[in-house]
Structure 1
């Protein structure tokens, strides 16, 4: 288990190469996911996630689902820039 907050993001992105499956757990803020998670995603390269399954667990406390849906859409959108090699699953807990 690694913490994004306590890691060099480039080193952490390279560390993913050791695993077939990665689960990223994050809170959801109003209208945004944490910036450090977005920065980490920007450090991912197709070669570091090729053939991997990456899952996201989003903790949100909102009554409405619009906030969660926007995060889901963003996370699904990273599949294509990573050459479609990423299998992205997202679970949202309220």
Structure 2
């Protein structure tokens, strides 16, 4: 609360400058700082989403390998690799050709 009062008591010259040109340049500088901060926030969010997506992809990849290993262990030597490969190729999503 005390900080807000001191901001309100600052002289107008300190806030806006002594002339129009100085006030314009101060405003331009503050706007530039504001938008740079917004761009930094957007960039950090984009990076965190990218990192999350990468980690999620790795997790799914490892989970698929673990499922395959479980199937091999359950088969106890009677695992048909060719049939499993064909099954995987049929079940994978393929993009539509345009």
TM-score by length of 2: 0.25
Higher-Rg member (1/2) = 2
Select the structure that is richer in helix: 2
TM-score by length of 1: 0.26
Higher RCO, 1 vs 2 (CA within 8 Å, ≥6 residues apart): 1
